[in-house]
Structure 1
Amino acid sequence: MPAAPPLRVTQATPAAPPATAAPTNGQRLISFDFKDADVVNLLRILAAESNKNIVIGDDVKGKMSIALRNVPWDLALDIILETRGLRKIEKDGVMRIVSSEQLIKEREASARVEEARLKAESDVRTKAAEAQLKEQEAIDKRRAAEAAYAELQARGPLREETIRLSYADPEEIARTLQGILGIPPEGIKAQTVPAGFPPIAEPPFSALYGLQPQQVPQPLASPPSEVLAKGITIRAHKPTNSIFIRHYEADLERIKKLIRERLDVRLPQVKIEARMEILDRDDLFAIGVQWGGGGVLQSNQNTVMVGRGFTSSVGNTTTSGGIGTVGVTSPNPNLVLGAGGTLLPVTSTTGLPLGGNLVNLPISGALGGGAVTGGGAGGIAFGITGSRYNVNLALEALRLLSKTRTLARPEVVTVENGTASISLGEEIPYATVSSAGTSIQFKEAVLRLDVIPTVIREGDVTKIKMKVTIENNSRSNTTVNLGTSAGAPPVINKRRAQTEVLITEGERLVIGGVTTNLDADETRKIPLFGDI
């Protein structure tokens, strides 16, 4: 079969254009009919008809057939772009026509460029801020060094001085100063300033961002290195009663003033006299001391009575003379102030009080208005007598009647807050056996009194606060069998009491119940016949 002749495709001669319709919404309506027309040419026709600036990208290609009648040009443009997958970009009165793929690439590239620009700007700002911060840190460091050096200049150089104390203990003074100044026992290194301050580095972006670097000042001179090598320290030297101080000159003067005016001062001395007496409980009633009561009697005008020693449960009362009474009943009718300011009415023969007791040392029982209950054996109690009541005179009277026995009358003098210790007793030897052989050990069985006084001045009145510890360790009749050839160690009976009291100067503290004696009567007889 012979081949078919080739088909020639040409653009048909366009018919006479129809009459243009009247403008609609200010836009001209266009009509056209094309077959296999090039897209670029169609866009050029629309640009000419609309009188718009249109730029067509190289990626816009292809042909299309289109037939439109009386439509706005922008609608025709949108139809062509949508059909061919094209996009328009309008900027400053110019319209760009590109493919969708090209637009995506352009936007991605633009985003990368924008990101790079923002990152570069951020890096520039960060480096500029870092440079400014370094510059400020250098300035602050310089100012701190200048302030430290100014402080060193104000304090003066390090000085060493040995201060000999007159009254205080050097170790106590050293510990006190270390606590006040915050110096550890091992001392601290003296504050130093480097020989030259570090120069302020010029920021790398100063010229770009207009940061003017500070002028680097000249280095300040430092104190001699041999002085700074020594540490600040305070040490006590017990043999010479001195303290050694190494500190700055200005601070050293203040430390010396503190020691001279506040720390190394003469403390008040307190004389403590003790009487250790053994007497029967019944004999104490004769001198107005009741052991085993349970109340408090007080007087103004520097006269104090402690305890009550009464057996009634009558409530507390207060007399017009200023003495409070606790449970006073008919057995004690005279517990009032007598004429002439005496403490209690006394008998003409003995000079001792009538009725009530001057001192009561309660051992057991309830305080207050209630009656005393319980026995008084085995306790240690404390009481205070007034300065008008002469305990020594009463005890001497009983001694002349052979009613009391004096163990000791020691006197000690101590300074304020010092410990005064009085002891009386024995050391009991006993044997111990070990691999080295038999040795002799000792146990103390002593009556010990420890007093720590503190002087308190309230105007013209001097009071003494005393921390009193009384301890009575006595030999026991009980023995312990250890099952060895060595002797059994002694058993020590221990009794201890501790209290704090506040008394006026001249008053006396009476302690009862320290020692006890047990009297037993043994009767031997033949049953029945012994009673005849």
Structure 2
Amino acid sequence: MKRLIMGLIVVFFVLAVLLPGGNASDLAVLEGLTFDKPAGKERVNILISKPASFTVEERNGNVVRVRLEGASVPDKLKRPHGEEGGFANIINIIADGKGDGRQNWVAVDISLKERVPFVVKQSSRSILVDFDLTTLAVKKPSAPVSKPLVSSRKLLLGQAPVEAKSAQAAKPVVVDMTDGDKPKYAGQRISIDFQDANIRSVFRLLSEVSGKNIVSAEDIKGSVTITLKNVPWDQALDTILSLNSLTKKESGNVISIITQDKLKKETADRKAIEDEQRKTELARKEEEQKQLVEKGRLRQVSIEAKIIETTDSFIRQLGVQWAAGGTGVGGSNSYPYGVAGGTNPSLLNSLVTTPPTGVGLTSEALAVNFLPMASTLTAPTLGIVLGSSKAILDVQIAASETNSETRIISSPKITTMDNVKAIIKQGEDVPYVTPASSTSPATVSFKEAVLKLEVKPRLTPDGKISMEIKASNDYADYARAASLQNNPPINKSEIESTVVVRDGDTIVIGGIMKTTDTEATTGVPWFHKIPVLGWLFKTEDITKKKTQLLIFVTPKIINASDTAFAEPSALVEG
């Protein structure tokens, strides 16, 4: 008898365990409630963890009840919802769990001001209840609205019950954004309140509000506790992602949520793949070129350049020079005045055999000596000598004006293969002497002063020519060598560029213009500043020099039929 009783107890225990209502893991869980106000409607969205059967009934007191079978509700959701949503007809929504231990169900009671038609729709994990407001009588508000609604959508999920003021420190952080904050966000404004909510459920809520498809990877887990008021939904999403070290990728209407570490790994992997593809493509092109070279089918490019240097100079020199001379002993010779001209003027009177010191262009006894045209001995001069047997006065007026133009045209030409660098240069090696010291003898080194053209052409698929060009023109300035221990400095002109040009067209790849203006005045202090008369006591030099460098390049593709007749124009290096 005792064995029979024990057996019955075991059977009843097993049956109790196997009953559907007894296994909590089989129950659908109410995860949250969302509210929306489409045109002419008010909507309640009931979110559950998995699909569940339900029934809808209208109860007394304008209450619509949605009964979820085989479901449970967390204690934190057992409270009124939607009272601050600014709804026209919905008063509140209250969720409560029911059951006798063998069968559990959840009642979601929606209280209305007036009965209106409604439609219920179900998706996989949500139940939508739409109330039609078009049947309501239009009523004017009894008092003006004191403030606008915070949002046309309000999301409430897992909000904790209101506690006493002493517990305010335990509230979640509140973030309140206004219209002027961060204008880059343009999504629908919402207010949300999450406490220990599943982050994947939060993403699902934002997906419904935004109309975007938000997907997350399997490793996205955790809970969210945050309150946001009157913020765009996309800003709310970014805030939640930032708090949980997550990031997003957008493609069309789909937003993918991944961890920042995974994004870094994907970025690094993508870069590695791109580098590998680049190396593979480069190796493939090199192999193709190698095969074309072996077959003699690699296309060639002829590049002709013109390097033009122009120098325009203008020099003007004006001056007056005075001289005086005399003799203490009068002789039989006379010293009449005369006119002298040329670069070395002398007295025209042939009777003067021994002119006094200082007459003409001599400088030993000049009253004022400006030495006009000292650097240009061919400057035209005009002198007048006035005097007697005892004294003589010499005045020399000199004026010079020079215009010069110099054109230097260099035309290097070079032929090379597609994507192969070529170099051509012409010039001299300039010796530089390092003076001997007490510990080492004098040494000689050489520096290049050459005209150089370096080019690497590449044929584009559309038949154009891309060129990497480096042109330089260096020359020794021997005029300045004397001041530098006879070592001339190297004047350099260089340009480097990458251009694309059609076959046979000419392009200017660069130009340098240098202008030098010099004005110098030498004169007797104070006297040379006298208006008009000051020219009798000063000289003036004006020099203007303009130097210009232009580089023209003309590439031409050499056809295979012309290759046999193409003459080599330079030694190709590269």
TM over 0.5: no
- TM-score normalised per structure 2: 0.22
If asked which structure has higher relative contact order (CA below 8 Å, sep 6+), I would say 2
Larger radius of gyration: 1
* Structure (1 or 2) with the greater helix fraction: 1
- TM-score normalised per structure 1: 0.24
